[in-house]
Structure 1
């Protein structure tokens, strides 16, 4: 299945990867240059920036040189900071680390908020234990709290931390709480798209130490844009509770090796002065 990298998603990925290194403001002209490298045209960049501004994720801010630009809002920085804890290397939780439970009740007169609440919990990687009872690994507590507070949904939810005490084995319960087949398919799709790029870069390294900045930037940004969604579909469930052929560890290894090989090399392309060669 062909992968879709939307301009809006790529802009968020760009800011997450490189836009927090300085004060964070990127000139509009630079956004257009950097997105052109991954196939996005200037009108799409401008319209996507406008939508992100309306959503409160980007705010107008002059760059150090005085050019018109955009920086991340405080909410967007919090979202990206929370995302870092999922996206970049971390130890997979153990079954004994426990769970966070979100128990919610929304009045019928506000049922639209019930839909938003379910969508956000699903987007955070929660599984459904029972109607109105959602579950995730305990390490997601802080991010869940930030998200519910930001969206003004906290009054409808109680959060708990605890352990699963039965009656079914926890691995069987996990298979009910999450659609593991669908999650495994997403890992397989990531591997099909980005494992060949890793192999190609590793083969090149056998004959040359050179890592062309624009190529590194392009392959890294596309891989990160794909990968950053996966730790939300798959919230990092304990390995002991997953099928033995689970592809998640392999896809995480592919991303982390691409990150180690390409991220810093790609930064040279991001930092390139306007008008510079290469």
Structure 2
């Protein structure tokens, strides 16, 4: 009887997906549900406060600045970490590139480096002392030393530099996998018809690699809005000058871990979840990957 139950064509599919369902319920649905409930409470006073935490967020200037910093960082990473990796992947996929495996390894190595180590190295490189690497470079051209991590514009540049150094190789591999799935006959036919390499790239590669582009865009939006450790290590803590490096997750950490205002921190987390879901649903709708079948 038990053997017939497990070998049933109707029951077997559910048995196979059961581990995934249990994992989602235990490590995703349950924590989110618990976080939503906690966001309506004051944990320190052990009382239900209703929407007070959310009302406080709307008038919290530091939280609004954290949102601005996270959105600004996300937009910068989208501009840099989608078109350039796609272009580099096309070069690696071309027949003109010799030893592409060497370049793939070189691009991907930074992704294997710990964020803690990378953040520490970049903090030392862009230190405010005249002997730091960045100040030595600009000093060679006659410029005075800069306090890189105490200025909003320069610190934003460094955060984007860390992101590009770390994730360009990963996105290149994503796009390279998408490009290699395109039949080579399409490029050969286009070349016979007189299409240039640029026309082949814009008319064949970009349209057919769209599913990969949508995926990279989706994970980049999430990664940009949830960035924390890079900023934490770069500024040697969660207290950057005038909060120029404070992100939404950093503000959540400050309220929940440093100040132990867990209910308020949960409200921050719920707002972050809503923002990420809203932005991704909008971009999926605009790219035609959600709610619309392509012809």
Q: Pick the TM interval, shorter chain.
A: under 0.3
RCO higher in 1 or 2 (8 Å CA, sep ≥ 6)?
2
Normalised to the residue count of structure 1, the TM-score between the two structures is 0.27
Normalised to the residue count of structure 2, the TM-score between the two structures is 0.26
Which protein is bigger by CA-based radius of gyration? Answer: 2
Which structure features the higher share of strand residues? Answer: 1
Which structure features the higher share of helix residues? Answer: 2
